[in-house]
Chains A and B, each alone.
Chain A
Amino acid sequence: MFASSWLILLFPLLGFIGLSWYGNRISRNLVGLVGCGTIGASFFMTLVTLSNLLFLPPEERVGHVQTLYQWVSAGSFKLDVAILVDPLSVFMFLIVTGVGFVIHVYSVGYMHDDPEYSRFFAYLNLFIFSMLVLVAAADFFFLIVGWALVGLASYLLIGFWREKTSAVLAARKAFVMNVIGDVGMVIAALVIFETFGTLNFADVFASAPGMFRPNDDSMLLITLLLLVGAFAKSAQLPLHTWLPDAMEGPTPVSALIHAATMVTAGVYLVARCHVLYELAPYTMYFIAGVGIITAIFAGSMAMVQYDIKRVIAYSTMSQLGYMFLAMGIGVYSLGMFHLMTHAFFKALLFMAAGSVIHSLDGEQDLRKMGGLQSVMPLTHATFLIGALALAGIPLTSGYFSKEAIILSSYHADMGNIVFWAIAVLTAGMTAVYISRGYLFTFFGRLRSPAAHPHESPMIMIIPLLVLAVLALLGGVLGPWVDSFLAPVFGHVAYHPHDNALESIALVVGIGGIATAGLLYMVSKERLDLFKEALAPLYDLLFHKYYVDEIYDYLIVRPTKAIGAFLEQKAEREGLDFTVDQVGLQIKEVSHGISLWQSGKVRSYALNMIVGVVTILLFVVFM
């Protein structure tokens, strides 16, 4: 009954193929129409699939595998080209195609003046297709296929402006780190195959609980290897350095890939494999720990960045940390709910920032913005909504999802006070940095009058408005998400109510906003005093804890040195020399032999005699 779900993947694929083939020959309007239309059609098919799914009673919603054809059947190993239609995958479909569609429409306006318009939409469609393959995969094989394809699309889109050296380098950095994750995933898949004999999700998850005790070595190995991939893709410590640099790409790319969809692939992975993770509680603690440490790490760095997109990028990293915290604790549906609300308000923030950047002719430095609230009212309003949602102000969607996670970090079975404390502290930092960003951008005097800032065209504003509504009202979807995803996770997440903790978090949030206001709105001297007082800390944060420098010193330079050494010694002097010598020695030998041909008849005769004598020797004596 879910055969039509294949269309969800097919439309973006056709869009990619069509636009990359004919994109240059059709008009811009048609390109935009096709590019957005395919995703819109996918979204429509997603709704159709959703309604089909809702018709079924909750217990029957899991495990529908739509097979296209049987690909490999080798002994006991079977691999089919198939998609998995269950609440979790449909949930991800909704986010990917829905938010994706909105961002596509926005891109029509944002990339309007770009000469490579059709290539952009082709790549965007490729990305959507890859992401859908990832979340629709019914086995580890196609999960990894989608994983790698998404990394490729990310590389193509980050480095979209090919003439910009910094963009190309950033794309390469992102791709290299993604490949590290891919290696982990592939090794994990191999171990899974060796352990279970199959790569199918259904078979693996069904047989795992019966085969292993908790914290078994093989379970720990598999889950940790899968985590390498998840952390690389979702920019958690220590594989996070690519995400800030990825902001070199166009803003719609940052909104789509690095806020709403690709970076959430890691979270999706843990959710999908929760059966395996539940069998390895040590790994779950590890996930929660890494998540929360990344959250505070990124939050602290976001407070001192000057590039508005980088502030939002670190914010993404931080919020992903929250999601991983939720996954690590075991409240999966809360993590997925936060994924959804985060997609709404983070994409909104990116697009609003993009609107600002677009109207200021490419200016991204916060210090050069300001006073835009009267000039760009709609952008201002939507940005404010996104900022409030991010900060977790009551009644926004962000409040519901983040609060739930913060409370669970203390009250859930695997939660403890340390997690809670760091989560609350990070929430405070979140409020500080996003208020700072908001104040810098929209308040004060107009610091860049020369660019003639103006409100963006409607085609860019309407997507902002759509997402703003979702960011504001999406909180009500919380309980529905919990019940919808319950069949997949096996239980409905427990929503604790603890007034004391809630009020503490609220106070911290508002305190953060107030701090930002005090520091950045009142006077510049006070700000400079504050900065001087905390100078060493400020330096550390500004230079991103020197992680990039550490990596460069420990990894990049040795690798380059080894490469240069091998190129010189092994390649040039070793192999090239040997191969050249083969030819040269033949030449030398032949030159030596050619001296034998003296041109003199008598020596030729002598040679003949010698030959005859030798042959006769054989004849006579053998």
Chain B
Amino acid sequence: MEIATLFDFALDTVIFVVGVTAVLASLGVILCSSPIYSALYLIGHMICLALLFLLYNAEFLAVVQIIVYAGAVMILFLFIIALLGGKKEVQENTFHRAMAFGFVFILLGELYLSATVGPTQQIRGEIPAELFGTAKAIGLELFSKHIVAFELASGLLLVAAVGVICLAKFSFVPLRRRAR
């Protein structure tokens, strides 16, 4: 058995296992009754996805996923859960659940079927193979082809920050202090 095919086989196996784990973790997110457990499952799901990114030659993105998504965003989530409360939830409304499951099942099927519509156009990039997925390559692309979107995204982050501060201020500081 050649090393290349053995490597390929191993790669495929790992990809398969990690993918299945990701799906199972996502199921765990929605099925837990306690929000804390759901958040933990989501963190696990994100780590699986980061692994998958790595396996598909996207190192930079994998690290970004861990640091930003799993690191910052999920920690924020955990803080909020701790603040607001994660009581165990009692599920009513079986009609909604039945409808949801039904439709989503159909959606799944359709999404899969739509993949058989036909091959997409081959977009061939000019990145040399060893640079693919590195920070350098992504940086080169980001700051040349997608510069406008990059600037807009930064603006978006700024707006979000300001907005949160406004929201927070309105709920805490009473305005009556002015009339003195």
Contact = CB atoms under 8 A, between A and B. Distances in A.
Direct contact of A and B (CB under 8 A): yes
Nearest to B109: A620
Contacts of B106: 613
B83 interface: no
A610 interface: yes
B110 A620 contact: yes
B110 A613 contact: yes
Q: What are the 10 tightest A-B residue pairs by CB atom distance, in nearest-first order?
A: A616-B110, A620-B113, A609-B103, A620-B114, A613-B106, A613-B107, A620-B110, A613-B103, A610-B103, A606-B99
Nearest to B114: A620
A150 to B, nearest CB: 80
Interface in B95-111: 96, 99-100, 103-104, 106-107, 110-111
A612 B110 CA distance: 10
Interface of B: 96, 99-100, 103-104, 106-107, 110-111, 113-114, 117
A616 B104 CA distance: 12
Contact of A612 (B99, B100, B107, B117): B107
Interface string A582-622: 00000000000000000000110010011011001101100
Interface of A: 602-603, 606, 609-610, 612-613, 616-617, 619-620
Contacts of A613: 103, 106-107, 110
Contacts of A617: 110
A603 B96 contact: yes
Contacts of B113: 620
8 contacts: A606-B99, A606-B103, A609-B103, A609-B107, A610-B103, A616-B107, A616-B110, A616-B114
A619 B117 CA distance: 9
B96 A606 contact: yes
Nearest to B110: A616
A556 to B, nearest CB: 69
B107 to A, nearest CB: 5
Contacts of A620: 110, 113-114, 117
A406 B96 CA distance: 105
Contacts of B117: 620
A617 B114 CA distance: 9
Contacts of B100: 606, 609
A616 B107 CA distance: 8
Contacts of B111: 616
Given A613-B107, A616-B110, 19 more contacts: A602-B96, A603-B96, A606-B96, A606-B100, A606-B103, A609-B100, A609-B103, A609-B104, A609-B107, A610-B103, A612-B107, A613-B103, A613-B106, A613-B110, A616-B107, A616-B114, A617-B110, A620-B110, A620-B113
Contacts of B114: 616, 619-620
Contacts, number: 26
A620 B96 CA distance: 26
A528 to B, nearest CB: 101
Nearest to A609: B103
B120 to A, nearest CB: 15
Contacts of A619: 114
A357 to B, nearest CB: 90
Nearest to A612: B107
A610 B105 CA distance: 11
A619 to B, nearest CB: 6
A288 B111 CA distance: 98
Nearest to A610: B103
Most B Cβ at <10 Å: residue of A603, A610, A612, A613: A613
A47 B110 CA distance: 101
Contacts of B96: 602-603, 606
B15 to A, nearest CB: 27
Contacts of B107: 609, 612-613, 616
A603 B100 CA distance: 10
Contacts of A616: 107, 110-111, 114
Nearest to B117: A620
Nearest to B104: A609
B111 to A, nearest CB: 8
B109 to A, nearest CB: 9
Most A Cβ at <10 Å: residue of B99, B110, B117: B110
Nearest to A603: B96
A622 to B, nearest CB: 11
A170 to B, nearest CB: 78
Contacts of A606: 96, 99-100, 103
B102 to A, nearest CB: 10
B91 to A, nearest CB: 12
A610 B96 CA distance: 12
A612 B96 CA distance: 17
Contacts of A610: 103
A606 B101 CA distance: 10
A607 to B, nearest CB: 10
B104 to A, nearest CB: 7
A609 B101 CA distance: 11
Nearest to B93: A602
Nearest to A619: B114
A609 B110 CA distance: 12
A166 to B, nearest CB: 78
Contacts of A603: 96
A602 B100 CA distance: 10
A114 to B, nearest CB: 79
A616 B117 CA distance: 12
A95 B119 CA distance: 103
A616 B110 CA distance: 7
Contacts of A612: 107
A609 B100 CA distance: 8
A608 to B, nearest CB: 10
A610 B110 CA distance: 13
Nearest to B100: A606
B46 to A, nearest CB: 23
A400 to B, nearest CB: 107
Contacts of A609: 100, 103-104, 107
